[in-house]
Structure 1
Amino acid sequence: MQIVQSIDALRQTLAGRGRPAFVPTMGNLHEGHLSLVRHAREHGDITVASIFVNRLQFLPHEDFDSYPRTFEADCATLQAQGCDVVFAPKEQDLYPQPQTFKLQPNPALADILEGHFRPGFFTGVCTVVMKLFACVFGTAGGGVAVFGKKDYQQLLVIRHMVQQFALPVQIIGVDTERAADGLALSSRNAYLNAEQRAQALALHKQLQWLAHQVRTSGQPLAQSEAQAMQRLADLGWQPDYLTVRQRGNLLPPAQGDASQTPLVALGAAKLGTTRLIDNLEF
């Protein structure tokens, strides 16, 4: 496995080696990331993972400085999974000058849910992903990029970005990896203490309850969502949203269609100081 830092070194490394399959990460890797790498190996000629904590997608009060960084362990894990190349730029490598050109996604998709509670988040995500795509796929003329469905809205935003710009990149979404008890794997789970870890599955359970309510109760969707929010708050959480949306565009289902339309329940909530997200397609 090769580890490269500069954009030029990455392009030289990838030149003439076929179609890249790319997994962008911020490091602190867990089994969810490794699942993405395994999927990537099935879809390209050379497997590339990036490790870069992207400042542009953190709000001023968020955990950029404290975000877990475990570079040596990450590289050892990636090598064991058969990753061919790790692109690990420093901030000055990827942003050698202030990134004044930024990609603004469609507000109808990007300013709701996560974008509402984290303003500018998807601008930062799209800007860094577009730049990483240029670095990884520039010499090959295209390839495959693999993302997890745990970040459901992010996956949709990136799919729309690729479509709108006619990028020669196939986006593959991979189902969320979960712990044995059902908790969605996340780098931020490391922030949970033992008591919080035992309570953390409540978010997924409330999404399951909400999905069941929508399919079976016949009551207004807003009422079921409000009940799910209150049920989670009663357990000591601070919910931002628990909601049901259409899978393809994250718009609310039309009144009366909630029992038939392909839907996804999405939730974000704080447990202590740790903000967790999860979703459930149904």
Structure 2
Amino acid sequence: MHIFYGKAALIDFLKSIQTTHSTIGFVPTMGALHQGHLALMQKSLSENENTVVSIFVNPTQFNNPEDLAKYPRTLEEDVKKLTALSPKIILYAPTVEDIYDGQPVSQPFDFDGLENQMEGKFRPGHFNGVGTIVKRLFEIVKPKNAYFGEKDFQQLQIVKKMVAKNNLNVNVVGCPIYRESNNLAMSSRNERLSHQERDEAAIIFQTLNVAKEKFMIKSATSVSDWVQKSFAKNPIFTLEYFVIADEATLLPCLRKNKNKKYRAFIAIVVNNIRLIDTISLN
């Protein structure tokens, strides 16, 4: 497997292996790889001649310094997983200096309001950091296809918006959420949970499923009230938000429209660890 720690060497290598008809698939990650990440890579491997995976814990998308400091960094184990998956994978594991040239700051983006909902309300500046790093990685790797998990559905929509507004020639592909045996959405942050917390986090997806059933016959406000009351009784988890929103605009649902697609979004906190999940309601 080819591993690059600097963008100049990666760019030169990608130029040397590209042909007129070959495509590059790209999976950007922050490491601590799990089966959800590997599924994105498998899809890229099946659809492209070359697949690049990046592992980079991006400082500009963390509004909480403690969260950045505690984010799991497991490069050695990640390399083993990538090698076992496919020796064809090209790994880019840059330093902050290599990515940001000594200036690790975000550039401002206008995502037409997508950035002001859910995660944007609770993590100021987060999506400017996401837009900055994804745009920079796209400029370096120059992929034809880029793969993102639907667990971070708001991020997926924002990346698509960034690509459209900057006229980037990248096809952004959303892929299904991978779940643990108790249906907890796979996340690198899960590694920070205790065994009890991990087991009891099954309540997140259970709540989303019941909310989906209730939304068939009740209003979004009624469903949200039920979710809030349910978590108010739970001593382990703190509900940060639960929102039923239009998939396209991410604006909260005020009145159902049969021509729109809706999705429920949830964020909970346990022991200062944030967990998010989402489910389609249509």
Letter in 2 for 1:243: V
Contact 1:203/1:232, CA 8 A, preserved across alignment: no
Deviates more, 1:45-54 or 1:259-268: 259-268
Residue correspondence of structure 1 range 31-180 to structure 2 within 5 A = 31-82=35-86, 83-100=88-105, 102-106=107-111, 108-137=113-142, 142-180=143-181
When residues 182 and 231 of structure 1 are mapped into structure 2, their CA distance, relative to the original with a 3 A threshold, is same
Question: How many Å separate the matches in 2 of 1:125 and 1:41?
Answer: 24
Contact 2:220/2:254, CA 8 A, preserved across alignment: no
How far does residue 214 in structure 1 lie from its aligned partner after superposition? 1.1
User: Gaps (5+ residues) in structure 1?
Assistant: none
Question: How many Å separate the matches in 2 of 1:62 and 1:242?
Answer: 24
Q: Residue 244 of structure 2 aligns with which residue?
A: 244
Question: How many Å separate the matches in 2 of 1:214 and 1:178?
Answer: 23
Question: How many Å separate the matches in 1 of 2:208 and 2:59?
Answer: 30
SS in 2 for 1:79: helix
Contact 1:111/1:119, CA 8 A, preserved across alignment: no
SS in 2 for 1:185: coil
Question: How many Å separate the matches in 2 of 1:123 and 1:39?
Answer: 28
How far does residue 232 in structure 1 lie from its aligned partner after superposition? 1.7
For residues 92-127 of structure 1, the C-alpha deviation after alignment (integer angstroms, 9 at most, x for no partner) is 111122145614132611021000000100000000
Q: Residue 220 of structure 2 aligns with which residue?
A: 221
When residues 101 and 117 of structure 1 are mapped into structure 2, their CA distance, relative to the original with a 3 A threshold, is closer
SS in 2 for 1:197: helix
The TM-score normalised by the length of structure 2 is 0.93
When residues 164 and 260 of structure 1 are mapped into structure 2, their CA distance, relative to the original with a 3 A threshold, is closer
When residues 101 and 150 of structure 1 are mapped into structure 2, their CA distance, relative to the original with a 3 A threshold, is closer
Deviates more, 1:204-213 or 1:34-43: 204-213
Contact 2:117/2:251, CA 8 A, preserved across alignment: no
How far does residue 13 in structure 1 lie from its aligned partner after superposition? 1.1
How far does residue 204 in structure 1 lie from its aligned partner after superposition? 1.3
Across the two proteins, how many residue pairs are aligned to each other?
275
SS in 2 for 1:76: helix
Q: What's the RMSD between the two structures over aligned residues?
A: 1.6
The TM-score normalised by the length of structure 1 is 0.93
Task: Determine if the alignment matches structure 1 residue 30 to structure 2 residue 34.
Answer: yes
For residues 4-53 of structure 1, the C-alpha deviation after alignment (integer angstroms, 9 at most, x for no partner) is 01111010111142321000000000001000100111222101000000
Question: How many Å separate the matches in 1 of 2:82 and 2:102?
Answer: 30
Residue correspondence of structure 1 range 233-272 to structure 2 within 5 A = 233-236=232-235, 237-257=237-257, 261-272=260-271
Question: How many Å separate the matches in 1 of 2:65 and 2:5?
Answer: 28
User: Gaps (5+ residues) in structure 2?
Assistant: none
Q: Residue 10 of structure 1 aligns with which residue?
A: 10
Runs of 4+ aligned residues of structure 1 deviating over 4 Å after TM superposition are none
Letter in 2 for 1:267: I
Letter in 1 for 2:89: D
How far does residue 265 in structure 1 lie from its aligned partner after superposition? 0.7
SS in 1 for 2:132: helix
